[in-house]
Amino acid sequence: MQLYNTLSAEERAELIEQAGENRLTLSFYAYAKIEDPQQFRDDLFLAWNALDALGRIYVAHEGINAQMSVPASKFDEFRATLEEYDFMRGIRLNVAVEHDDLSFLKLTVKVRNKIVADGLNDDTFDVTNKGIHLKAKEFNELLADPNTVVVDFRNHYESEVGHFVGAITPDVDTFRESLPIIKEQLEEIKEEKNLLMYCTGGIRCEKASAYFKHHGFKNVYQLEGGIIEYTRQVKAEGLESKFIGKNFVFDHRLGERITDDVIANCHQCGKPCDTHVNCANEACHLLFIQCDECAEKMHGCCSDHCLEVIQLPEEEQKRLRQGVQKGNLIFKKGRSESLQFQKERNVFEEIKAVKVSTVTQIRKKQAEKKILVGVAQHYFTKVSVGQFEINKEIKVGDKIAIVGPTTGDERLTIEKMMVNGTEVKEAKEGDRMTMELNFRIRKNDQVYKIID
């Protein structure tokens, strides 16, 4: 009986690419009393593994919190696995605004003490006495009320790239840090003002609203379904989106575009940018914001030191990162001294947006002789196939250069390429393209179209 992953992320990516089937990225949560979380975890893994469902799921005595990728053709079967449990019958599934077939590459179901690390003692207050849930239209109306204070209960790296207009955006690394900060700052207005709160999918507000009501806040409201459901309703009902920028997500995508407002900047050069990346040095893996130009210059690294490291032989890199604990760095962007343009802001400071008609307008043109058209994602050694994320259209017959610190500057003409397991003549922006290569490439290598 298989209860854990047996495939690597690279192997799984290859299988997904070969299958050529669309997948849905979704999330959901439920607070419920679960007597045996370990058995519950094992049952879920067996059911979902059989459906080729992937994702990161936490279960605890208090419920379940899940972010997942599910084959579109098996969506109904997946929902049926949820319906087997009373507390998940009819549960809302927050379907992502933007899909990526490789958003998750493993099925990880973990038993935790809590499904969200809030640092609270639930025995000290009534966790079921929650705030009033608002739909998108109601949220917009209350947001416009001058007697309303709106608070973002996400972390600093989330709110930096996108938030609701006028929101308080705590400069914190974790959800648990924001609770006492906001409580102290709003103590004097807790009885007369409307406290309006939101988060990504709604789960953090479920506990936060009960916490603030316990501490004497009279008028507590929360966005039902969070930013994800709000965006769906805005599009379906033709409403104005009061959320600007990007919605940060905790999967391979690292963000989904909500509006064309860019409210952040590249942490290395200061130009308007809201593209999150993880440092290409696996011993670092720091999350930060990097524009295309800096990505080219720094080869996806956050510092000169990391740039030097990735140019070492792979075995030497593995030796250097043995025993290095990088987990605390992954979501601490803007905290590294090597990043010159990090944000320093007060908890109540509002970030002003840079409005652009299309996001690509903030990108500087590449050199005249070549155009950046993609970034390497994987190299499948067994079949000598490279996978690339395409950001500008390329086609069979184009001359390209694949450039990287260890790859060098390899030139070739595209003779054949695949998208979603199907041979195509051209790959468009957003496609995951694969092609056979007679040399090894590495993640974050840059792909350029050569202009004659």
Left, alpha or beta for 216 (phi > 0: left; psi -120 to 50: alpha)? Answer: left
Paired tokens of 68: 């997942």
Say whether 205 is catalytic.
Answer: no
Nearest alpha carbon to residue 104 among 66, 130, 77, 64:
66
Please report how many Cα atoms fall inside a 13 Å half-sphere around the Cα of residue 18, on the Cβ side. 9
283 contacts 289 by C-beta, under 8 angstroms: no
Q: Could you tell me which of 205, 279, 274 has the C-alpha nearest to residue 245?
A: 274
Backbone dihedral angles phi then psi of residue 329, each to the nearest 5 degrees: -90, -25
* Token reading at 228: 């994800």
Question: Would you tell me the crossing angle of helices 226-237 and 136-143 to the nearest 10 degrees?
Answer: 100
Burial class of residue 183, CB neighbours in 10 A (0-12, 13-18, 19+): middle
Q: Which of 199, 291, 294, 306 is catalytic?
A: 199
- CA separation (Å) from 256 to 99, 248, 425? 9, 7, 28
User: How far is Cα 389 from Cα 392, in angstroms, rounded to an integer?
Assistant: 9
Burial grade of 90 (CB within 10 A; 0-12, 13-18, 19 or more):
exposed
Specify which residues 54 forms β-bridges with: 69
- Length in residues, the chain: 452
Q: How far apart are CA 74 and CA 79, in angstroms?
A: 9
DSSP string, 126-184: -TT-PPEEE-HHHHHHHHT-TTEEEEE-S-HHHHTTEEETT-B----SSHHHHHHHHHH
Nearest to 429 by CA among 354, 356, 363, 355: 363
DSSP 32-99: ---S-HHHHHHHHHHHHHTTT-EEEEEEETTEEEEEEEEEGGGHHHHHHHHHTSGGGTTPPPEE-SS-
162 residue type, one letter: G
- Residues 6+ away with beta carbon under 8 Å from 394: 373, 374, 400, 414, 426, 427, 433, 449
In single-letter form, the type of residue at position 86 comes to D
Residues labelled as active-site residues: 199
